[in-house]
Amino acid sequence: MVDLRHFATGSIMRMKRTKVRGVWKWCVYLGKIGGKRRRKYVASFRAAKRIALDAEAQRRTAGDVWVGLSDADRLEVVTVLAQVRERGLTLTDVWQGFLAGSSRPPQVAPLTLREAIELVLKAKTAENCRPRYVKAMGKYLRAFARGREEMAVGDVTLATIQDWFAARQETPKRVVGSIGVLSSMFSTCVDNGFLQANPCHKFKRPRIDYGRPVVFLPEQVRKAVDHVHQFFPLHLGWFALATFAGVRPEEIAKLDWSAFDEAAGTVTIDAEQSKVRARRIVHLEPAALAWVREARRIAAPLDWSERQKAPVRKALVAVLGLNEWPQDVLRHTAASHWLALRRDAAAVALELGTSVEILMRHYRELVPDAQAAAFWAVLPVLKLP
């Protein structure tokens, strides 16, 4: 055995003369590389010595580079290398894939759209997203994947996404929401190493023109609430809370009358009942308090589903002479008249459980003082015996 000491590092590179298939050769022990022992066989001592010294010089250079890195850089290298090895790759594989412009890391089994949908739905469930949100996301993503369920997510391009929206002809507002759903799926794929880039990031989102929200006039509110009171009395609770307190329908369905404090004139919405997961107390105006008291007096339940409320909305469309039921019209009606009454956007937004920006952009319609006064004067009509 021959030891060659490298004077700069003091390390030892070992060489040994041995027989290989009956032929004498020099074996150079290069040490462990990538967890495996490496050796090289050559015919002459001079060649073996040159290989040993070259290897030692390369090792010294690599050591100098490593020592020159900051602690943060060394930690990043070790962390990334561990993640790359977990997926059966090398840093060279990943780098070559990047240079080739591939959207999918090399040597990783492609993930299909069907599998990607299940992946993101499981992730959202694990993040404690609301079941209703996860269900709606799954419905939209399966529509996007229909007919191409086995297509690899890495093969989805910007053109694929543009063609999808061109065919659907969604409104600009809907497109902005929908691209967020698609982007969430592709981001999950990126996070799990199945994609290198999210194709939705290249999609140009349309500009949205925020029009006037539809609100009911006081005379329409009077017709509507009286009709509900007379013909759908068991639905009066949710209708009153939505129309006069602006509580979201999905929040009302999770309430019961224990949330109502008659003495204080408030309704408490806990975090698990709130859409935004934040507890709040809604202070009822006198008109709201009167209608809520009436609903409680007749023991009107609050936990109506959207399907169960559909006949009420259909009847009111006919009573009010509408073509269709405007989306979120009851919450918009409450917000607009509340803002006209209080003239304090921050206070009204707090009652509604939203932000001032959303209140002013989506909910508010300009309401004259006289109209606001007429709205808050809509009270239950006493029925004489």
pLDDT in tens, the chain (385 residues): 555 544 333 345 678 888 888 889 988 887 765 556 778 888 888 888 888 888 777 777 666 566 556 767 777 777 777 777 766 677 777 776 666 655 555 545 689 999 999 999 999 999 888 888 899 999 999 999 999 999 999 999 999 999 999 999 888 888 999 999 999 999 999 988 888 889 999 999 888 776 778 899 999 999 999 999 999 999 999 999 999 999 999 999 999 999 999 999 999 999 888 877 788 999 999 999 999 999 999 999 999 999 999 999 999 999 999 999 998 999 999 999 999 999 999 999 999 998 888 888 777 778 899 999 999 999 997 654 4
Backbone φ/ψ region at 88: left (φ over 0), alpha (ψ -120 to 50), beta? left
Report the interhelical angle of 236-245 vs 218-231 (nearest 10°). 160
The Cα 304–Cα 234 span in angstroms is 10
CB 313 within 8 A of CB 327: no
Enter the tokens of residue 379: 């009270």
Query: What's the confidence (pLDDT) of residue 170?
Result: 87
Q: How many residues would you count in the chain?
A: 385
Query: What's the confidence (pLDDT) of residue 137?
Result: 95
The Cα 158–Cα 116 span in angstroms is 17
Q: Which residues contact 116 (CB under 8 A, 6 or more apart)?
A: 153, 185, 186, 188, 189, 194
Enter the tokens of residue 186: 């592709």
Query: What's the confidence (pLDDT) of residue 10?
Result: 39
The Cα 192–Cα 372 span in angstroms is 53
Q: CA triplet 373, 378, 384: central angle to 5 degrees?
A: 140
Residue whose C-alpha is closest to residue 31's, from 7, 61, 17, 51: 51
Task: Give burial (CB, 10 Å; 0-12/13-18/19+) of 61.
Answer: exposed
Residue type, 348: V
Dihedral angle sign, alpha carbons of residues 175, 177, 181, 183: positive
Query: What's the confidence (pLDDT) of residue 67?
Result: 54
Query: What's the confidence (pLDDT) of residue 9?
Result: 37
Query: What's the confidence (pLDDT) of residue 34?
Result: 52
Enter the tokens of residue 276: 């935004």
Query: What's the confidence (pLDDT) of residue 35?
Result: 58
Residue whose C-alpha is closest to residue 348's, from 357, 326, 278: 357
Residue whose C-alpha is closest to residue 188's, from 288, 242, 118, 254: 118
Q: Is the pTM of this model over 0.75?
A: no
Query: What's the confidence (pLDDT) of residue 22?
Result: 85
Q: Which residues contact 126 (CB under 8 A, 6 or more apart)?
A: none
Dihedral angle sign, alpha carbons of residues 354, 356, 361, 366: positive
Q: Where are the beta strands (DSSP E) in the chain?
A: 2-5, 12-20, 23-33, 36-42, 260-261, 266-269, 280-283
Query: What's the confidence (pLDDT) of residue 336?
Result: 92
Beta bridge partners of 28: 15, 40
